[in-house]
Structure 1
Amino acid sequence: MKVESLSNAGGCDVLRKTFASSLCLCGALVASQACAESTSNSEQEIALLKQQLKMLEQKLDRLQSQTAANAVTAARAKAEVKTQVKAEARSEAKAVVANANAAIAVKSPAPASGVVVTMPNNRPTICTAEGANCVAITGRVHYDIGGYNYRPNTAATVPQRLDSGENVRRARIGLAGKFFNDWNFALVYDFGGTSDGFGGAAPGSLPGGGVSGIENAYLSYTGLKPFGGRMAVEAGIMDLPYTLDEATSSNDIMFMERASPGIIATNIAAGDFRSAAGTRWYNDQLWIGGYVTGPATGAIHSASSAAPAGTSEQYGAVARVAGNPISGKDYSVHLGADAQWLIQPPRNLIANTQTVTLSDRPELRLDPTTLVSTGAIANVSGAQVYSLEWAATYGPLILQGEYFWYNVDRTANTGVPLVGASSLKFHGGYAQAGYVLTGEGRSYNAANAAYNGVKPAHPFSLDGGGWGAWEVAGRVSQIDLNDQLATANGITGGRQTVYTLALNWYVNGNVRFMLDYLHGSISKQASPVSTADVGSRFDAVAMRTQFAF
């Protein structure tokens, strides 16, 4: 403020002096001009006065320029003063705030909880704070209802009818989790299968024909990570990832039941409820695994012939190599090969026989009756199954197929006379396709070398949500259990062909409704040496209500 006052005062004094000088100059000029007129207009004096006037004008210009410069300097100084004042004010304000904060007690962070509860895909999961130990509750319910239009070809056909109705196909509840990051476990019990048994005669079946029992009870170690992949060493009761269809979860398959050729293969020495020990290694492109297998849950096995239905345990092995060699953002190609060996068939210690039966129901479980079956093949020393698998996806489209070759060796030394040829050969396969109308695709599950299910992008909700995901699918499957016909020692298990159409509604990540239509035909003759027709045909419609977490 002082700088501005001084500058303005000095400029005013200079201007006053300049104006005074100018007035004096003008007076002098007038006087000079008057004198010049009276003294004959002296030209020398006029020139001198003009020179002095010009010098005064130049001096006046310099004084004006200096005054403008002083005004700029004063404004700049004023701005600097204001900036300094504001900075000092801000510093004082910060100091006040800091003092006020220092006076407030700071709350320390809450200590980490001992456990963390999460709900991935609505599965209640409890983990320790660092995530090294977890336990989760898992469960699923598959409730089926439907009916058959069954038409036996002749009065000699067995059976003459199939029962329509309902079936709690699966009702599982259990625990799954891990210890110290690398130890994984599962303990799952299945209360379902109310119509899945074989008249109560099968080992492990319950009165009324249902089959229930321990579905999973295993321990797996995953701490070994050779060659940049993931490896698991495991043992117990488990679902073996043998064949592509079996490696796909029952929550994710496109149809209510898997195709008969795969079911017949896995029932020999793999499949659900199977005791096993083995290892698998995988990365994003390759899966390799092998297991030694034993009897299934609930199978009666005893070394004492005095025990009811005394039967020794069976032993087998499975191996699989599969992979996803071609993949991109919205496409993939899957290829694989499988092998299975029944090394020691179950042996009935009372009858001193070793038998194997290949059979399946018509790709539906409302009635437990089998329409194709070899019956109990006697003198079996072993069996082998070899298969190829393939699949491809492109956006919402998936194509999948497998083909199986079954060999049964009849060379057992059981004391019972050997009947027939030393081996039997059967075959079968399926091809299927699915398309998600709402555009979702199926991701690849490298851990099982199979495909995951459909997860709706817009789950169904009446409160402004979507309508879930909708999928249509079709499948054709065929199994031929006939061999060495026209010979007394041949097998007439029958030839079954089933066409299936499906409509699936994925309501959300936990709920699904399935609607299947099946058309099947069974070609079967009365005996290896008789061509009498005892086949049948059928149509069936069934619906499944499914929830899982």
Structure 2
Amino acid sequence: MSRTRIAATAIGLAGVLAASQAQAQSASSSEQEIALLKQQLKMLEQKLDKLQSQTAANTVATAKAKAEAKAEARSEAKAVVANANAAIPMKSPPPASGVVVTMPNNRPTICTADGANCVAITSRVHWDVGGYDYRPNTAGTVPQKLDSGENVRRARIGVVGKFLEDWNFALIYDFGGTADGFGGTVGSSTTPPTVGLLPGGGTSGIENAFVSYTGLKPFGGKMAIEAGVMDLAWTMDESTSSNDIAFMERASVGVVAQNIAAGDFRSAAGARWYNDVFYAGAYATGPTTGAIHSASSAVPAGTSEQYGATARVAGQVVSGNDYSVHLGADAQWLIQPPRNLVANTQTLTLSDRPELRIDPTTLISTGAIANVSGAQVYGVEAAGTYGPLWVQGEYYWFNIDRNANTAVVPIGTSSLKFQGGYAQAAYVLTGESRKYNPGNAAYGGVKPVHPFSLEGGGWGAWEVAGRVSQMDLNDQLATAAGIAGGRQTVYTLALNWYVNGNVRFMLDYLHGNISKQASPVSAADTGSRFDAVAMRTQFAF
């Protein structure tokens, strides 16, 4: 029965009741008739409630039936799709496309969306200003004066990156005024190169132009096979970036050792393997990018291309949350010294400036050692950290063979022996520590936790450091076959302010003593002493 019929019946009954009441008033009907009508009305109301409940139940059942029908349809549709996928293989998703531009440590970097190919711009500028209080011991000392002034020590710009995930590359040019192992009277060349010679005593040139492959991971570690012109990090000091060293210059003994067959601007090919504990590397090396390779009589300084080899093993033998200990050893061989094909000579010069590059003059030097057939250098290294404290030291022994068959009449055929070392320590006043870099087996730089900011209240990181170094280039004194290259001892104190991850200011004070005699057979004093103060402004990314 519909709601309309129920309503009509109710109205009708109401009308009958009203009529009955009127009749009762007019005809004085009995109360039994009224009670009967009320009973009938109550029964009708009960039927109405029952019909409404049935209607609601029917509505719920209908909705449930429709939902079940839809669910069954969806299930059948999914089954059809699954059967189709089983019959026809699904295509893989399309590869990621486009590029992603990032600025890690403020270095502009562009990568493909999958991160397998990247290219980044890198640069560093080290500008030095300083002065000397230089005091020659006698009038026979050479030089009699060191010039104060300024020098753009390094000014490099280039690109680094990777392609196809496992191939890495670098192309960096250095416009700076000096470079260790390169130009001036520094290095192991027969005659200093004249092409590109700069007032600072060095030569600008290609500092890095190499490619390396890192796809091999043998014995649970990482491996890099590389070739080209590179900064060949052989000593531990050289394995620390010039952006991160605690002093403006590295100790002289390391510079002299590196210059023979390693160091900056060096052509090389080799490999290194490392994990979190151990490092091993070996390279075959050639000349630097500034050397003149020519046998033409028009180039009197023409030389054949030298070649040598280096090897280094090292590791972080002890490590914890805030401490570590590093030990290592290395070796270097000069197999073919630079040879002047015009004069038929083979010579080698060992020298260095007094651990500062404002004036390019060297204070210790062997001069050109004649009839050199080869050279070997062996060294040991140790370092460690304890919270903000960092200590490091190295010692090296040099052997120069003088038995080459050249046009120069030998003044002696015995080998020459030199040695030197350094010890240094630094403490970060603001609490930061130097982290170990397994890829180079050396400690990195200081990264300020709170970079300097006038608004944020940070003051960067502050570090104090001290070093003592010695390089002895004297051997067989009092004999005609000896070498009086001098013995240099330098004490250095440093204060470094790391403004942020890209900017640093360095203040160094140096006190040096050079003990030197006029010749191997003359004890006349030609030594000197000096004090120097210098400051470096550095930015790098």
Determine whether 1:202 maps to 2:186: no
Alignment partner of 1:168 out of 147, 152, 159? 152
Offset at residue 307 of structure 1 (A):
3.6
* C-alpha contact 2:337 2:373 (8 A) present in aligned 1: yes
Offset at residue 422 of structure 1 (A):
1.9
Alignment partner of 2:104 out of 113, 116, 120? 120
> Which runs of structure 2 are paired with 1:314-463 in the superposition (5 Å)?
314-463=306-455
SS at match of 1:262: helix
**Distance in 2 of aligned mates of 1:286 and 1:343:** 28
Q: 1:503 maps to what in 2?
A: 495
* C-alpha contact 2:295 2:340 (8 A) present in aligned 1: no
**Distance in 1 of aligned mates of 2:198 and 2:153:** 16
Q: 2:456 maps to what in 1?
A: 464
* C-alpha contact 1:150 1:539 (8 A) present in aligned 2: yes
Offset at residue 194 of structure 1 (A):
5.9
Offset at residue 112 of structure 1 (A):
5.6
* C-alpha contact 1:233 1:279 (8 A) present in aligned 2: yes
Output the amino acid matched with 1:534. T
Q: 2:269 maps to what in 1?
A: 277
Greater radius of gyration (CA):
1
Q: 2:166 maps to what in 1?
A: 182
Determine whether 1:528 maps to 2:520: yes
**Distance in 2 of aligned mates of 1:118 and 1:183:** 20
Determine whether 1:228 maps to 2:220: yes
**Distance in 1 of aligned mates of 2:202 and 2:236:** 27
* C-alpha contact 1:195 1:367 (8 A) present in aligned 2: no
* C-alpha contact 1:168 1:193 (8 A) present in aligned 2: yes
User: Cα deviations across residues 272-301 of structure 1 (Å, max 9, x unaligned)?
Assistant: 000000011100101000000000012101
Determine whether 1:144 maps to 2:128: yes
Offset at residue 389 of structure 1 (A):
0.5
Output the amino acid matched with 1:167. N
Alignment partner of 2:539 out of 521, 544, 547? 547
Offset at residue 303 of structure 1 (A):
3.4
* C-alpha contact 2:214 2:222 (8 A) present in aligned 1: yes
Percent same amino acid among aligned pairs? 80
Output the amino acid matched with 1:198. G
Offset at residue 305 of structure 1 (A):
3.9
Over 3 Å counting, the alpha-carbon distance change for 1:205 and 1:411 in structure 2 is farther
Q: 1:301 maps to what in 2?
A: 293
User: Cα deviations across residues 77-136 of structure 1 (Å, max 9, x unaligned)?
Assistant: xxxx9xx9xxx9xx9xxx9xxxxxxxxxxxxxxx96510111110001100000000000
User: Cα deviations across residues 438-475 of structure 1 (Å, max 9, x unaligned)?
Assistant: 00001100000011100000000000231000000000
* C-alpha contact 1:195 1:365 (8 A) present in aligned 2: no
Offset at residue 352 of structure 1 (A):
1.1
Moved more, 439-448 or 194-203: 194-203
Aligned structure 1 segments of 4 or more residues deviating by more than 6 angstroms: none
Q: 2:486 maps to what in 1?
A: 494
Offset at residue 195 of structure 1 (A):
9.3
User: Cα deviations across residues 391-446 of structure 1 (Å, max 9, x unaligned)?
Assistant: 01000000000000000000001132221142000000000000000000011000
Q: 2:505 maps to what in 1?
A: 513
**Distance in 1 of aligned mates of 2:513 and 2:197:** 30
Unpaired runs of at least 5, structure 1:
1-80, 96-110
SS at match of 1:272: strand
Moved more, 195-204 or 143-152: 195-204
State the TM-score, normalizing by the size of structure 2: 0.80
* C-alpha contact 2:478 2:522 (8 A) present in aligned 1: yes
* C-alpha contact 2:178 2:198 (8 A) present in aligned 1: no
SS at match of 1:273: strand
Offset at residue 210 of structure 1 (A):
4.0
**Distance in 2 of aligned mates of 1:365 and 1:306:** 32
Offset at residue 349 of structure 1 (A):
1.5
Offset at residue 205 of structure 1 (A):
4.1
* C-alpha contact 1:290 1:318 (8 A) present in aligned 2: yes
User: Cα deviations across residues 4-37 of structure 1 (Å, max 9, x unaligned)?
Assistant: xxxxxxxxxxxxxxxxxxxxxxxxxxxxxxxxxx
> Which runs of structure 2 are paired with 1:29-44 in the superposition (5 Å)?
none
Q: 1:129 maps to what in 2?
A: 113
**Distance in 2 of aligned mates of 1:176 and 1:493:** 40
Moved more, 284-293 or 303-312: 303-312
Output the amino acid matched with 1:221. Y
Offset at residue 476 of structure 1 (A):
0.0
User: Cα deviations across residues 489-526 of structure 1 (Å, max 9, x unaligned)?
Assistant: 11000000000000000000000000000000000011
Over 3 Å counting, the alpha-carbon distance change for 1:235 and 1:324 in structure 2 is same
Equivalent pairs, count: 447
User: Cα deviations across residues 156-196 of structure 1 (Å, max 9, x unaligned)?
Assistant: 00000001000000000000000101100000000111698
* C-alpha contact 1:468 1:505 (8 A) present in aligned 2: yes
Over 3 Å counting, the alpha-carbon distance change for 1:490 and 1:363 in structure 2 is same
**Distance in 2 of aligned mates of 1:188 and 1:226:** 30
**Distance in 2 of aligned mates of 1:365 and 1:292:** 29
Offset at residue 241 of structure 1 (A):
1.9
**Distance in 2 of aligned mates of 1:477 and 1:496:** 8
> Which runs of structure 2 are paired with 1:10-159 in the superposition (5 Å)?
114-159=98-143
SS at match of 2:464: strand
Offset at residue 542 of structure 1 (A):
0.1
SS at match of 1:239: strand
* C-alpha contact 1:167 1:195 (8 A) present in aligned 2: no
**Distance in 2 of aligned mates of 1:241 and 1:296:** 14
Output the amino acid matched with 1:206. L
User: Cα deviations across residues 31-54 of structure 1 (Å, max 9, x unaligned)?
Assistant: xxxxxxxxxxxxxxxxxxxxxxxx
Output the amino acid matched with 2:184. F
User: Cα deviations across residues 245-278 of structure 1 (Å, max 9, x unaligned)?
Assistant: 0000000000000000000000000000000000
Unpaired runs of at least 5, structure 2:
1-52, 68-94
Output the amino acid matched with 1:546. Q
Determine whether 1:477 maps to 2:477: no
Offset at residue 198 of structure 1 (A):
2.0
* C-alpha contact 2:173 2:207 (8 A) present in aligned 1: yes
